[in-house]
Every structure is written in structure tokens, then in C-alpha cells.
Amino acid sequence: MAREDNVMAFITALRDRYQSEIEAIRASGLFKDERYIHSPQWSEIEVEFPAGSKPKKCINICANNYLGLSSHPEVIAAAHAGLDSRGYGMSSVRFICGTQDIHRELENRLTEFLGTEDTLLFPSCMDANAGFFEACLNEQDVMIADRLVHASIVDGMRLCKAMQDTYKHSDMGHLEEKLQEHMDRRSRMILTDGVFSMDGDMARLNEIVELAEKYDAMVFLDDSHATGFIGRTGRGTHEHCGVFGRIDVITTTLGKALGGASGGCVSGRRELVEMCRQRARPFLFSNSVAPVIVAGALKVMELISRSTERRDRLEWNARYWRGLLKDAGFDIKEGESPIVPVMLYDAKLAQDFARDLFDEGVYAVGFFFPVVPKGQARIRTQLSAAHEKHHLDFAIDAFKKVGQKHGVLGLGRKELLARAGA
Amino acid sequence: MDEMNRVVRDYIVREYLEEGDDREITDTTPLITGGIVDSFSMVSLKRFLEKKYQIRIPDADATPDAFDTVQGIVALVQRFRTAAPVGV
């Protein structure tokens, strides 16, 4: 069989096989297209979509830029200063020659902010979650995870030899049954998100901690969609739920509210963090967080420790936006966080809706399988402290217009599913 | 076999249906393809079957296809029950 004369040395049969799979994704309405942004991340951005078209200004309502710091001038200035004083890249993993004084400084700042004993930076929270469980647990232990934990936690669990179990989403009765079932394991660890990324609801963390203390279990909390803005001073779900200082391990990201660049961390009991420093594979085998990122993140920590103005504004925006959507007749998931899913249930409808929103100058993306379960497609809207009231008023007019076009206003789940022919 | 079907159905209702979910689980209700059980939460079903029926189901046989219906699950359990029982 002749080789294709191409960059990738794919023989024809392999190319055909993968092209068939890609076409099947397209045919099922689950294909994801990228959009190209020609501006910094902000409440208003310029977007090229479809590819090759003239970039268009629109309001962004789907970024994890919760505190509006992704393009903040002080953060950018601090990153520039970091480039000048500490260079571009470390060309090393941390334990060889990849640790600078600013890495230690950022880890100390995060420890203090999160109320833990120690912190270790990772290239991303995805890496932190991938590395933590394998480093700290083995076949004698059990991990009991909420069924809606983030995909990165599921992946991390699969890399670990500890027993796995799950409990119905936020069902404390079911969690207690699982803890009782696993009292014969060396240790039990409860795994949860703080704010669940697809639904925007919050873990019942105070009840989880009570159960953990009752059944001698550890608590693992991924607070990526909470650090910086949930809780009175933005320290996270544990502050909000009144259990600050009682979480054994927190993982979180620098790639959302805390600047939006990249990086993540494990923060918690000093022994657990040390185990990661000694054994977590993404820490041992992946490049150190770049100095420019660390310098920017240090400025973010300074800004959010100085004032709660941004998280207060975000809280107001989230409340206002939820009210607008409900008044307009959309089916939304209840909650307090700045993640507000507009439920459409049907994948094609979600894609068409997002496309039409874009035509009206609002950038949001349809979420469908495998990102969310089949039949649970949605537009996941996310608020930012960078949103002004007029942005949200503009956006709701666009949502209403598109909602009317697709006939979804005032319909609940059953009616929407019936429309989709489910 | 009817008793095993009932035991498996009851477990699935208890373990996977949320409060207020009054869907009927029959022997042919699609569990995995129907979104009632996913590959992440399937692990507790496998463990339940192994403990209840004193069998070991190899990971290679614990596929979403094999676990998609109560009927399929019972057939799988019967297959491994006919082999020598193992301590679990």
C-alpha cells in the first residue's frame, strides 16, 4: 500500500478509519468547532467565526475569567516584570533546576490564602488531579467520589490503585452508606468539586466534612470554580460553608479566576503535599510553571487579598443575570455561583442556539455529550466581574430574541425534551 | 434466574436513581446507553455482583455493552457462576 505523501506518514487505511470516526462525530451533531479570538480575554472580545471570516465584536459570557483579571493591566505589568527579572522559561522540572524563589513565594501565598499547611504548584490543576491520588493512596485505600466530579478527577482516580466508589450527586445519605461500607479499608477519601463545573451548584461541604470526621475519612476538594470568589473573602467553598481549615487537600487552578493563564496546585496537609513533591508524576516529569505565570499570579494574589470588590461585583452580576434569565422564561439550573447553565437538552438545539447568539453579538458555546451527559445539552453562561450591567442587559435581549426564534421560552424540561423528540 | 433479575433491578434502582425519579427499570431498560449508569459509576455495580454472587468478573468482560441491561448483567453473572467460585 503506497504511503500518503504528506506531513504525517499515515497509510490510507488508517487515514480512512479516522476520517470515518470524525465524520460520525459530525453526523451525530457532536462536532466542536473552534473560534479564533483576536483580542485579549475580556467582557467584550473580537471573534473570527467561522474560520476565515472578519472578526466580530461580541460580549463574552462563557469565560472562566470570573474576577476579570485575565487581562488586568497590573497583572500584565507584573508578568512583564517577571519576564525581565526571572526570564522566559525554566527548561527543567522542579526538582532538578526548575524552582525559583518566586515559586516558593507563590506557594506560601496560596497556603495562607487557602488556609492549609503547604502548597505545591503543578503545570495545571488537571496535572494536580492526575498526580495526587497515585502519590498518596494505594490498593489498601478507597476513593469515594461525587458522581459529577470533574473529568480530571476521574482520570486521576483511574491512575490510582486504590478502590474506587461513587455516590449520587450531593446525596449525603448515599455518601454515608458508602463510608459505612468501606470502614474495612485502611483509609477513606471523599472526593468532590466545590462548585460543579457543568451545573454551577455547590457541594454540601459542611455536611461532607461532618461525615468525614464521623467516619475518619479525608476530604479532597477541587475548588477550581471557586477559588478567588466564593466565600466572603473569596477563599473558596470551604470558607462559604464554614469549614475553612478543615479540608485535607484542595486542588485549584490559576487558569480561571486567578489570572486565567495556566498552572494549578495541590494545597493541604503538609504530609500529603510532601508526598506529591516526592512522588506525583506530573510534578516529577513535567516542566516547571514559567516565571512569567508565577509573577502574574503573585500580583493576582495581592489584588484579591487587598479588596473583595471584584468578588462582590461578581456576586451581584450572577444574581442579576439569574433573575434576567428566569424572568425571560429560560430553564436554568438553580444556584448561587456565577456558572448559570441555560438548559436546552438537545445537542443540535444547543449548537444552533449558540450560533444564533453569536449572530446577535453574544459569544456563548453549546455544551453537549461527552462534556455533559446525553440529553443534557445546555448553554453554559459564566459571569465575570468584568461584566457591566449594560453587557448583561444586551446579552439578555439577545437570549430572548434567540429563545423566541427557537420557541424555548417558558418551557420546562419535559416540554423541551418533547420538542427535541426525546 | 427471576430472583437474580429482581435483585439486580432493585440494586440499580437503589444505587442509581435519584429521589423522585420514578422511571421503571425493566430487564431490557438500557442502563448505560440510556444514561442511568455511566462507566464511572459502573464500578460499584460490578463490585456488588462479585460480592453478592461470589464471583470475579475480569475487567475485560466488565464492558458497557455487557452491563447495558439487567438481562445482559444476569447472563454475565451466570457465565462466571458456572466457573469455580472464587473468594472475594
Residues of A in contact with B43 (CB under 8 A): 164-166
Please tell me the predicted confidence (pLDDT) of residue A41. Answer: 96
Interface test with B, best of A166, A169, A174 (most B CBs within 10 A): A166
**A31 in a domain, yes or no?**
no
Domain identity same for A258 and A365: no
pLDDT, mean over chain A: 95
Interface test with A, best of B13, B41, B68 (most A CBs within 10 A): B41
- Distance, CA of A275 to chain centre: 25
**A408 in a domain, yes or no?**
yes
Is B18 part of the contact surface with chain A (CB cutoff 8 Å)? yes
Domain identity same for A258 and A110: yes
Domain identity same for A100 and A82: yes
Residue contact A166–B47, C-beta within 8 A: no
Residue contact B16–A168, C-beta within 8 A: yes
Domain identity same for A186 and A49: no
Domain identity same for A57 and A122: no
Residue contact A166–B18, C-beta within 8 A: no
Domain identity same for A296 and A326: no
CA distance B16 to chain A (A): 7
Nearest-by-CA chain A residue for B43 = A165
Domain identity same for A263 and A158: yes
Residue contact B43–A164, C-beta within 8 A: yes
Q: Which domain holds residue A121?
A: 73-306
SS3 for A11?
strand
**A30 in a domain, yes or no?**
no
Lookup: cell for A379? 448553554
Spans in chain A with pLDDT lower than 70: 1-9, 421-422
Is B88 part of the contact surface with chain A (CB cutoff 8 Å)? no
**A166 in a domain, yes or no?**
yes
- Which of residues A306, A324, A353 is at a domain's end? A306
Residue contact B44–A171, C-beta within 8 A: no
Spans in chain B with pLDDT lower than 50: 88
Is B41 part of the contact surface with chain A (CB cutoff 8 Å)? yes
Is B39 part of the contact surface with chain A (CB cutoff 8 Å)? no
**A315 in a domain, yes or no?**
yes
Q: Which residue, A385, A260, A355, is CA-closest to A29?
A: A355
Is B38 part of the contact surface with chain A (CB cutoff 8 Å)? yes
The domains found in chain B, sorted by start residue, are 2-81 (1.10.1200.10)
CA distance B30 to B67: 9
Domain identity same for A95 and A238: yes
**Cβ A256 vs Cβ A222: under 8 Å:** no
CA distance A364 to A60: 7
**A2 in a domain, yes or no?**
no
Please tell me the predicted confidence (pLDDT) of residue A5. Answer: 55
- Which of residues A283, A306, A329 is at a domain's end? A306
Residue contact A147–B44, C-beta within 8 A: no
A364: domain CATH number is 3.90.1150.10
Active centre residues of A (catalytic): 197, 225, 256
Please tell me the predicted confidence (pLDDT) of residue A323. Answer: 97
**A85 in a domain, yes or no?**
yes
Lookup: cell for A234? 473569596
**A12 in a domain, yes or no?**
no
Residues belonging to chain A with any Cβ–Cβ distance to chain B shorter than 8 Å: 145, 147, 154, 164-166, 168-169, 171, 373-375
φ, ψ of residue A289 in degrees (nearest 5): -60, 130
Domain identity same for A172 and A289: yes
A123: domain CATH number is 3.40.640.10
pTM of the predicted protein model: 0.94
Is B16 part of the contact surface with chain A (CB cutoff 8 Å)? yes
SS3 labels along A137-195: CCCCCEEEEECCCCHHHHHHHHCCCCEEEEECCCCHHHHHHHHHHCCCCCCEEEEEECE
Domain identity same for A208 and A137: yes
Number of domains in chain A: 2
Domain identity same for A227 and A111: yes
Residues with Cβ within 8 Å of residue A256, at least 6 apart in sequence: A64, A65, A66, A224, A225, A227, A228
- Which of residues A306, A341, A368 is at a domain's end? A306
Domain identity same for A158 and A197: yes
CA distance B35 to chain A (A): 7
CA distance A191 to A218: 9
Please tell me the predicted confidence (pLDDT) of residue B88. Answer: 47
CA distance B31 to chain A (A): 13
Out of B19, B41, B47, closest to residue A147 by CB: B41
Out of A164, A165, A375, closest to residue B35 by CB: A375
